[in-house]
Amino acid sequence: MQTRELHALISVVREASASGFYSARWGAAADLDSIPTVSREDLRATPLSKRRYKREKGLVKVIHDERGAFLSEWSFADIGREEYGVYAKRPMVYLSDPHEAIEKSMWCYERGMLPLVGEKDAAITSYAAGRYQIDSLITDAESLAKLTSYLEGRTEPLDSISLIGASFDPHSLMPYRAYAARIRLVLSLPETGAFAAAELAAKPVFEALPGCTIEKEQTLIVSKDRMLVTPIIRYRTDIPTHVYDGA
């Protein structure tokens, strides 16, 4: 299961002088099967300055959850390497988390697109979407619902909707298939980036994205084979495995 790239990354991270975040947790363990997992608790307990493995120009996000907030840093180049959406001429990014909205807008720029970023007010965002004649949408389920009137009023379906989230309710999303030629579900966490994707279906079948390794225990464990500011190696998510398997 361990790819050559991931094996190489583990070696580099183990020897990195920039941070001991992983090596302190790994001890003598040397490969993917034996190294322990990390989780949000580890990120929350460790300041960003102590888990920064490289310095490149980029964006720092605040990630909130009920147990407290922490920082996540992404270089602009790494943001561009994620698989959040599909190429479009005039994409709109409309996400409920403002940090994610800025990051996904930067993804568009890194991929050579000029995005419209939606403001919080759905009416103003819908107005702007019409003016910009958007052809695709990067959003989440909560924000998508706020655009229903706008989508109903379009004369042509969008080329694509990329829905980003940690879980999806296919049943509630199926009606939106009328509004886009393609609806793509992207499993993603703010701190890991995207790691799996599926086309919207009654029982979507996710596939790991290139460079991502997914282990299935009770919850998904994610690894990425690229060196990130804080690499993602055996990151234990709270996402139940049945989400990935289309249950």
Partner 1 sequence: MMERDDIFTLSERIFRDVVANPPEDPGAYLVRVTSGTSGGAPLTLVTNYPREAPTDMMRGGVERVVSCSGSMGARLANALVMRRTPEGIPVRVLPLDPSDLVPGLEALIDDFDPQNIYGFCSYIVRVAGYVKPDTAKRVQRLTFSGEALLPELSEELGRQFPNAEQVEQYMASETAGYIANRFCRHLPLNHFHPAQGVAIDITDCDANGIGDIRVTKSIFRDVRIDQYRVGDIGRFVPGVCTCGEAVTIELLGRKGIDYVKLAGAVLRRQEFDRVMKMFPELIADYRVEARQIHEDGIVKGEVTLFIYYPRGAFSADLVREVGTKIARNLFVTPTKTFDELVQNRVFKPLIITFAKEPFPLGNKEVKVRLVAT
The residues binding partner 1 (CB under 8 A) are 47-49, 55-62, 64, 68-71, 73, 76, 89-90, 98-99, 101-102, 105-106, 108-109, 112-121, 124-125, 127-128, 131-133
Q: Which is nearer to partner 1, 30 or 77 (CB)?
A: 77
CB of 215 to partner 1, least distance (A): 30
Q: Which is nearer to partner 1, 48 or 208 (CB)?
A: 48
| Residue 119 burial (CB count, 10 A) | 13
CB of 117 to partner 1, least distance (A): 5
| Residue 63 burial (CB count, 10 A) | 18
Distances (CA, A) of 156 to 23, 88, 107, 129, 179: 53, 15, 25, 13, 8
DSSP state of 209: P
Burial grade of 154 (CB within 10 A; 0-12, 13-18, 19 or more): middle
Q: Which is nearer to partner 1, 93 or 189 (CB)?
A: 93
Query: By the 8 A CB rule, do 148 and 124 touch?
Result: no
Q: Which is nearer to partner 1, 76 or 86 (CB)?
A: 76
CB of 19 to partner 1, least distance (A): 14
